[in-house]
Amino acid sequence: MTAKIKPAKGSPYSRILGVGGYRPTRVVPNEEILKHIDSSDEWIRSRSGIATRHWASPDETVAEMTLEAAGKAVADAGITPQQVDAVIISTVSHFKQTPSIATEIADRMGAGKAAAFDINAGCAGFGYGLTLAKGLIADGSADHVLVVGAERLSDLTDLTDRSTAFLFGDGAGAVIVGPATEPGIGPSIWGSEGDKADVISQTVAWDAYREGVVEKFPAIRQEGQAVFRWAVYEMAKVAQQALDAAGVTPEDLDVFIPHQANMRIIDSMVKTLRLPEHVTVARDVETTGNTSAASIPLAMERLLATGEAKSGDTALVIGFGAGLVYAATVVTLP
């Protein structure tokens, strides 16, 4: 006789219950970047919108930044660390291949035997993590999930590369996702375009550096114009698909939180999506730089902290980057 598997007893709905962020104490202005490249503050601002970024000190490791952001998110959600059932961390700059940093975080934060794993989805990592968290809750595998984007991209920045030296920053952003009585996280529009993977990549593989094929430590490189065109034209379509999937129009939005890659990309997406003037747009990139998977939760935390956004607002979030990967969804802010 074939046994029948019981249906999942999870919540059909979920939402973000709390958010937290950590920015390193060291603020790096464009003037410091200009010591290494032939450029100008005006050129950097006009091309990217970036004026400053945060770079981590030796003791501000990916783990320490993650713990700070996670602790704030847990407190903001009004739960205890023991109530966290799963920990998902998106990072490309934790250099220990195994074990996952998520297992360390789960233990150190006091989450007991929570499921814990890392994901590598570049700048779309936060969106990927949200999608996974939503599924775990719907499945009944978890009640509360910690999703973190954490990066020390200063470790992967070539300060002599004029096209990328000014882009990247460090930091960690975290949210707690939990059950809800009504939808708080919309359908995810996510995917990849691996045929374009070369436009954002690591300069060389780790083994090439280990074996002495190259002497220069690996760094992030990108083809700026190709990335710009893809982000502006293709990601606006993905963002619109996320709105449609959630049954939301641009007029219904309160907040737009795109990946903080480049101010020109953000402004172009706002124009293409025809967002009304009442929609608050995250422009955290000006003072934080591109923090990859951390950028969306960091921007979300800042908007809520400054009062530019409020609890219950409807927000469109979209991440996109190396892979090329992307993830967009509509959420209710915590």
Catalytic residues, which ones? 123, 259, 290
Q: Can you read off the two tokens belonging to residue 88?
A: 């998902």
Torsion angle defined by CA atoms of residues 68, 127, 110 and 21, in that order, rounded to the nearest 10 degrees: 10
For residue 176, give the H/E element and its range: strand 170-179
For residue 264, give the H/E element and its range: helix 263-273
Burial of 57 (0-12, 13-18, 19+ CB in 10 A): exposed
DSSP three-state, residue 19: strand
Cβ neighbors of 248 (< 8 A, separation 6 or more) are 186, 314, 316, 330
| φ/ψ bin of 192: left (φ > 0), alpha (ψ from -120 to 50), beta (otherwise) | beta
Q: Can you read off the two tokens belonging to residue 15?
A: 């939402």
Q: Can you read off the two tokens belonging to residue 310?
A: 């409020």
What single string gives the DSSP state of each residue in 283-294? -THHHH-B-GGG
For residue 302, give the H/E element and its range: helix 295-306
Q: Cα(223)–Cα(90) distance, rounded to whole angstroms?
A: 23
For residue 55, give the H/E element and its range: strand 52-55
